[in-house]
Amino acid sequence: MSERAFTANDQFSPLFKQMWWLVLIRGILAVLFGVVALVWPGITVWALVVVFGIYAIVDGVVLVYHSIRDRARLDGWGWWLAMGLVSIAAGIVALVWPAATALVVLYIIAFYAILFGVTGIIGALSFRKVPNSGWGWSLFAGILAVLLGVVLLIFPGSGIISLIWLLGIYAILFGVLLIVLSFQIRKVAKAAGLV
């Protein structure tokens, strides 16, 4: 059975028109976080916690706002809301507990990555029936997040500098995937005459 062409009457069309730039902003923020981590590998645990906390809260607020605003048109809006709440909670925990040891920071980030990745995978799967939606990029980003979390849990004693490098590389890859996804979403919206 072939998939029908994407049209402006589809339930996702208004969402795609508004969503592409939100995904782009999230990608840019992730890349900036990764660059900060790689440019300053000697960054203190406290500074890493603060940068991660701010990133997670901003990212979560964007997701929560977007999911609540578009809940009438978005079938899987609850998963986007869950991702946003997980992100905000991880950011708050990181900022409220700034004197945490490197191991505690590692576990906060590991569980954040796993939960964020799982909700991202579920959210991506809700778009799989929309032709050319780029849901595969979002799925890959979610899998990448889960893998990062699992690696951090399996090898917790690799040191804070290794953690910073790993986080920096992950954030840049994740950000680039989100940026690519944003342009894929914009392309679909443009083809439907919405952008």
pLDDT of amino acid 11: 54
Is the pLDDT score of 5 beyond 50? Answer: no
For 56-97, write each residue's pLDDT tens digit: 898 889 889 888 887 877 666 787 788 889 889 888 888 887
The SS3 call for residue 98 is coil
Identify whether 69 is part of a domain: yes
CATH code where residue 72 lies: 1.25.40
Q: Dihedrals φ, ψ of 76, to 5°?
A: -95, 30
161 is in which domain, residue-wise?
A: 13-191
Q: Are 20 and 185 in contact (CB under 8 A)?
A: yes
Question: H or E stretch including 105?
Answer: helix 102-125
pLDDT category at 53 given cuts 50, 70, 90 is confident
pTM of the model: 0.59
CA–CA gap between residue 48 and residue 29 (Å, rounded):
15
pLDDT of amino acid 42: 65
pLDDT of amino acid 88: 92
Which stretches does DSSP call E strand in 3-147?
none
3-state secondary structure 63-78: HHHHHHHCCCCCCCHH
Is the pLDDT score of 9 beyond 50? Answer: no
pLDDT of amino acid 146: 92
Identify whether 1 is part of a domain: no
Total tally of structural domains belonging to the chain: 1
Identify whether 3 is part of a domain: no
Q: Which residues contact 1 (CB under 8 A, 6 or more apart)?
A: none
Is the pLDDT score of 148 beyond 80? Answer: yes
Calculate the CA dihedral of residues 108, 96, 88, 105 and round it to 10 degrees: -20
For 149-195, write each residue's pLDDT tens digit: 888 888 776 666 677 777 788 889 888 988 988 888 888 778 777 66
Identify whether 7 is part of a domain: no
Identify whether 58 is part of a domain: yes
- Dihedral (CA of 13, 17, 22, 25) sign: positive
For 104-146, write each residue's pLDDT tens digit: 777 877 888 898 888 888 878 877 776 666 778 778 888 988 9
